[in-house]
Every structure is written in C-alpha cells, then in structure tokens.
Amino acid sequence: GLEKRFFVAGAQSAGIAGDAHWGSLKWLKEYLEVHRVDADRISEICDPLFTLQHLRTKLNAHAGGNEAATIRRDLLKKFGSPRQHIHELTLQVAESLDAIEAIVTSAVKPA
C-alpha cells in the first residue's frame, strides 16, 4: 500500500485537518490538491487506485452474491477476458504510481 503517514504529513503541513478515518488514498488525494495538481489529473492518478481498492473489496476470494457476479459480468463484457482487464488495470495503476513518484520527487526536492 501507499505510505499513509507521508501523505498525511504533507497535507497537514499545508493546513488540511483531515479525518482520522481517512485511508491512504483519501490522504493522497488531499496531498495532490495541496500541491496544486489539476483536478482532472488527480482523477487520472487516483481513479485506478480507487478502482483497484473497490474490486479488491468486492471481489475477494470469498465474494459472492449478486453484486460480485454483476461486477464480474460487467468487467468481462467490457474487457473480453479477466486477463485483459488485469492487463489494463495494471497499466493504469503503474501510470498512477509513476505520476505520484514524479509529484512527490518534485515536491521534496531540496532547495
């Protein structure tokens, strides 16, 4: 997972109070906003991570029922195969992580 403490500290140093119940992805979003990343770019970066988190929660090894079946069916319809979906999502997550690294690196660069 992402290092939540880093994003908490970065957002709080800019005056964001946040919430004790926020997870690392919400803190990441706040961190990006504090560093004046464009809202569309924040969505591009965070959406794949939120999707991955959602699917991990809804489609874990013990997931069943109508919701999980509906998600699986919709993903299969959209991507054609589980492998293709994993490939696409992996590319998106990798791009997100690269973008986060670039933003963090430029934000913590020594003066």
- Residue 1, pLDDT above cutoff 80: no
- Segment 22-33, tens digit of pLDDT: 999 999 999 999
CA 46 to CA 23: how far, in whole Å?
13
Determine contact, residues 8/18, Cβ cutoff 8 Å: yes
- Residue 87, pLDDT above cutoff 80: yes
Determine contact, residues 10/107, Cβ cutoff 8 Å: yes
CA 14 to CA 32: how far, in whole Å?
11
Which pLDDT does position 65 carry in this prediction?
78
Which pLDDT does position 69 carry in this prediction?
87
Burial of 50: CB neighbours in 10 Å, binned 0-12, 13-18, 19+: middle
Which pLDDT does position 42 carry in this prediction?
97
